[in-house]
Structure 1
Amino acid sequence: MRLWIGLSLPQLALDIFSPHWCSDAGSVVLEGERVLAMSPAAHAAGIRPGMRRGGVLMLLPEARLHERDPRREAEALNAVALAMLQYTPQVALAEEATLLMDIGASLRLFGGIRALCARVRASLRALGFTASISCAPTARAAWLLARCGRGGSGGGSGGGSGSRALRMVSLERRLDRLPVALLPPARSYLGWFEGIGCERLGELRRLPRPGLQRRCGRALLDMLDAAYGLCPELFEWIAPPESFRARLELFDRIEQADLLLAGAHHLVLQLTGWLCARQLAVERITLLMEHERGRVAMPPTPLEIALAEPTWRDEHLVRLLRERLAKQELAAPVIGLGLEAGQVRAMAPPSESLFPEPGGTEEDRMRMLELLVARLGPENVLQALPRADYRPEVANEWVPVQQKVREAERAARLPPDVASLPRPSWLLAKPIALLMRNHRPFYGSPLTVASTPERIEAGWWSETQTRDYFIAEGQDHTLYWIYRERIVGAGEDAAPRWYLHGLFG
């Protein structure tokens, strides 16, 4: 089944200056010295579309006035389109700040049309844009329903909710009730349509087609037929770029790093759409915090995040950014953000193992480690890496958990005759000298040797060790790893010295 989602952004000119996650007393966008769009606070103060600049300042002296910027509107619409690629690879730009998405093949993946629309609506809210969402079996019908659901002229930030028509029978009834003014080719002839009493699309369809084509042109009939599914529709789909680099100009100077999370989320959503469209997963991202320009200009402050496991989900990336930004100190106010995907790889297919790992999946474990790294710092979350040395004190080194260590490399670093020998799970940082009672080592209770000795003679190049290691058992059946130090050059009558070096689990 083919199904389309229409996303209309009627307040795009305003949202680029005053997004939803920005607290604003009252913003107004002007075009040719007249009001084009306004925030809810400005609308509550009495400001209406078409009002002049002087009238705005008289009603709301503290209003923030912005000139319409078509370039930024186009960039914002492209940013939304890039973020929507996470739901379907077939996204197209349409007239009047509207996007069309072919989601027929995505319904099962996202749990149905209601769940998919809820996720799209949440993404738009996180991006900071007002939108009207609609669903229909044809793209032009979805466009018409989305434009009809754009809300009234009040300029509210919520926007219209749009409507859904999943079958052609119900779609025809909805389209018949829509006003003729929604069709762009019909707007030049609205006076004539009013004169003949034709106000709805249903009434327009009943007019003689030859006469309608001669008076209004073929474009009107083509758009009408496309909406009702009587002719095919062709689109040019959005193509994601080869590499990802996005930028966001902030609405004000930000002096606290944690307040940058909403803007960072805006960029991460675009990254998610790009990754899904190109079937990639990201391993390293860099958030660039841009500062003042001009005479006091300084280079952007980079915030780099390296992932232990490649991901393409925005929730995990936002969680890591939240932890890092909470600890970040800004050297200067931030006026813009940039996000770069420094290292990507092909998206890994899902695991085909029958049984999951105990306590969660490998992906869950990696996400937990990444969260700990973001919260505690990479120098405080380490993993063990064996070294090719027989001495227990130096047979291991601790490296950051984000460092890639293959199992083959880990095994290759072990001496071949040590990998199969028993080793305690807890090795003491410094051996403890043991007391001798009745010629037996003593640690809480007399220790009984329970294994043959393992002789270690190594370290002649730095610190020579000559030791005989044993597994010993206490009266409470606890197993210890002890050694007897062999003093080179001492006589045979010299008393041996015993040390505790580790405990078995």
Structure 2
Amino acid sequence: MRLWIGIHLPRLPLEVFCPRWSDDRCTVVLEQERVVAMSTLAEQAGVEACMRRGGALMLAPQAQFQQRALQLEADAQHAVAMALLQFTPQLAQAEEATLLLDVGASLRLFGGVRALCRQVAASMEALGFTAVLSCAATARGAWLLARSNAGRALTMEALARRMDRLPSSLLPPARPYLSWLEGIGCLTLGEMRRLPRPGLQRRCGRALLDMLDDAYGERAEMHQWLAAPASFRAKLELFDRVENAEALLFGARRLLQQLTGWLSAHQFAVERIRLLLEHERGKVAGPPTVIDIVLAEPVWRDEHLVRLLKERLAKQVLDAPVIGLCLEAPQVQPMAPPSDSLFPEPGGSKEDWQRLLEVLTARLGPENVLQAAPRADYRPEQANAWVSVQEKIRPSDARAQLPPDMPSLPRPAWLLAKPIPLLMRDHRPFYGSPLKIMSTGERIEAGWWSTMQTRDYFMAEGEDFAHYWLYRERTGHEGEQSARWYLHGLFG
């Protein structure tokens, strides 16, 4: 099934200066001293399109006037296109601030056309742009429905009926001939199609007929798909100086949407992201504040990244106001395929556990969320170290603790940080009650390169039936009767 989604950005000239989440400003965009776009407050004050600057200033003296910037509009449209690559790799930029998405192969993945449209609308909401969505069986038909806010037409028959009622002025090649078309009573696309084709071509040119054929599916359409760049780096200029780090989350979400689209286009997953908070420029310019987030498991969706950035920004203290954001993805890898296991792991998947650790790291700091790192040492207190969960532990380090041919010996679940010296009563170690030795001895001799230690370890049982891990020192100069006993661990 071939299906296209058309996305028209009707307020793009305005929202490159005043995004939707800050539409409480009275802003007017001018082109050649005439109004081309205005914010809600300016519209409520009576400002209209094509009004001259003087008239708009008289109606809204508090308004901020901006000159239309075509380059900024092109950059904003490209940012939107980058974010929408997460839904399909076949995306084309069309005329008059409109994007066309070939989503026929994506419907099953996203749960149908309605669910897909909701996700596209949510993405546009996160980007801060006003969008008009449409669905049609042809790309030009989706363009026409989006330009006229005419909804969805999923079959060719429904699309033809709906387009027949659209005004002729929607087609760009027909606009120079609107007065002639109105003079002969041709006001809609349906009436235009019923005109003799040879005469219409001689009068208006071949481009008008080609666009009609494209819209009604009578001609094969050719598109130039948007290609994602080889590396990712996205910038966002803020519309005011921001002194609270938490207020930067809106702009960061906008950049993360673009990152998600770029990752999907390349089938990548990101392992580390870097957010640069840019401060004042010029003579008082300072280096940007860098926020690095290292992920334990690569991800390609933005929900988890938003949570991590929210935690980091909540702790960030700004040395100077922020005027711009820049997001980079310096470390990526190919996207891993989904798990093919029949039954899910109890208690959540491995990815859910890693995401929990990443959220805790962002909230508490990497120095406060630790993991065990085995060491190649026979001494129990040296056989393990606690390092940050962001550090990678090599599998060879875990296997180097004991020789492969050494039998598995009991180890306590709780190893004391410092061994406790024990009293001797009736020639038996005493800890709350006399301890009874329950196992043969295990001799550990190690540390000749630093501090030599020679110990005999035993499992002991108290009168409360609790099990303890004891060792007896062997100095080589004293008899066994005078050797000291120590408590080193507790069994569960």
Distance 2:15 2:270 in 1: 29
Cα distance, 1:339 vs. partner? Answer: 0.7
Identify the residue that residue 31 of structure 1 maps to in structure 2. 31
Cα distance, 1:348 vs. partner? Answer: 0.7
CA contact 2:374–2:397 (8 Å) conserved in 1: no
Q: Deviations over 1:122-165 (max 9, x none)?
A: 0001001111000000000000000001xxxxxxxxxxxx5111
Identify the residue that residue 61 of structure 1 maps to in structure 2. 61
Give the counterpart letter for 2:108 in structure 1: R
Q: Deviations over 1:90-127 (max 9, x none)?
A: 00000001000000000000000010000000000100
CA contact 1:388–1:415 (8 Å) conserved in 2: no
Worse-matched range after superposition: 196-205 or 484-493: 484-493
Worse-matched range after superposition: 351-360 or 238-247: 351-360
3-state SS of 1:108 partner: helix
Q: Does structure 1 residue 257 correspond to structure 2 residue 245?
A: yes
Identify the residue that residue 282 of structure 1 maps to in structure 2. 270
CA contact 1:386–1:414 (8 Å) conserved in 2: no
CA contact 2:174–2:204 (8 Å) conserved in 1: yes
Give the counterpart letter for 1:50 in structure 2: C
CA contact 2:375–2:397 (8 Å) conserved in 1: no
Distance 1:493 1:273 in 2: 73
Q: Does structure 1 residue 423 correspond to structure 2 residue 420?
A: no
Identify the residue that residue 307 of structure 2 maps to in structure 1. 319
Q: Does structure 1 residue 241 correspond to structure 2 residue 229?
A: yes
Distance 1:55 1:500 in 2: 89
Q: Deviations over 1:248-297 (max 9, x none)?
A: 11111111111111101111111110110001111011101111111111
Q: Deviations over 1:404-459 (max 9, x none)?
A: 22334421354546672222221111112223333332333332222111112222
3-state SS of 1:428 partner: strand
Worse-matched range after superposition: 51-60 or 463-472: 51-60
Q: Does structure 1 residue 329 correspond to structure 2 residue 344?
A: no
Worse-matched range after superposition: 169-178 or 429-438: 429-438
Name the CA shift for 1:218/1:435 in 2 (closer, same or farther; >3 Å).
same
Distance 1:34 1:309 in 2: 52
Distance 2:55 2:279 in 1: 35
Cα distance, 1:391 vs. partner? Answer: 1.2
Distance 1:76 1:126 in 2: 14
CA contact 2:6–2:133 (8 Å) conserved in 1: yes
Distance 1:104 1:227 in 2: 17
3-state SS of 2:159 partner: helix
CA contact 1:452–1:470 (8 Å) conserved in 2: yes
Identify the residue that residue 257 of structure 2 maps to in structure 1. 269
CA contact 2:423–2:430 (8 Å) conserved in 1: yes
Worse-matched range after superposition: 350-359 or 168-177: 350-359
Distance 2:217 2:301 in 1: 36
Name the CA shift for 1:28/1:419 in 2 (closer, same or farther; >3 Å).
farther
Identify the residue that residue 195 of structure 1 maps to in structure 2. 183
Distance 1:343 1:175 in 2: 48
Cα distance, 1:493 vs. partner? Answer: 4.5
Identify the residue that residue 3 of structure 2 maps to in structure 1. 3
2:216 to 213, 218, 228: 228
Name the CA shift for 1:474/1:492 in 2 (closer, same or farther; >3 Å).
closer
Q: Does structure 1 residue 344 correspond to structure 2 residue 337?
A: no
Name the CA shift for 1:419/1:332 in 2 (closer, same or farther; >3 Å).
farther
Q: Does structure 1 residue 470 correspond to structure 2 residue 458?
A: yes
3-state SS of 1:214 partner: helix
CA contact 2:469–2:488 (8 Å) conserved in 1: yes
Identify the residue that residue 138 of structure 1 maps to in structure 2. 138
Aligned length: 492
Q: After superposition, where does 1:315-394 map in structure 2 within 5 Å? A: 315-394=303-382
3-state SS of 1:502 partner: strand
- Percent identity, aligned pairs only, is 69
Distance 2:77 2:23 in 1: 22
CA contact 2:81–2:99 (8 Å) conserved in 1: yes
Distance 1:237 1:500 in 2: 71
Name the CA shift for 1:23/1:208 in 2 (closer, same or farther; >3 Å).
closer
1:481 to 469, 474, 488: 469
Name the CA shift for 1:224/1:430 in 2 (closer, same or farther; >3 Å).
same
1:498 to 482, 485, 488: 485
TM-score under structure 1 length normalisation: 0.94
3-state SS of 1:21 partner: helix
Name the CA shift for 1:197/1:63 in 2 (closer, same or farther; >3 Å).
same
Name the CA shift for 1:398/1:493 in 2 (closer, same or farther; >3 Å).
closer
Identify the residue that residue 70 of structure 2 maps to in structure 1. 70
Distance 1:127 1:385 in 2: 42
Give the counterpart letter for 2:131 in structure 1: A
Cα distance, 1:466 vs. partner? Answer: 2.0
TM-score under structure 2 length normalisation: 0.97
3-state SS of 1:109 partner: helix
Distance 1:84 1:257 in 2: 27
CA contact 1:290–1:300 (8 Å) conserved in 2: yes
1:397 to 363, 385, 391: 385
Worse-matched range after superposition: 307-316 or 396-405: 396-405
Q: Does structure 1 residue 206 correspond to structure 2 residue 197?
A: no
Distance 1:243 1:194 in 2: 51
1:176 to 161, 164, 171: 164
Name the CA shift for 1:80/1:34 in 2 (closer, same or farther; >3 Å).
same
Distance 1:427 1:413 in 2: 16
Cα distance, 1:402 vs. partner? Answer: 1.7
Give the counterpart letter for 1:463 in structure 2: T
3-state SS of 1:41 partner: helix
Worse-matched range after superposition: 127-136 or 199-208: 199-208
Distance 2:443 2:480 in 1: 17
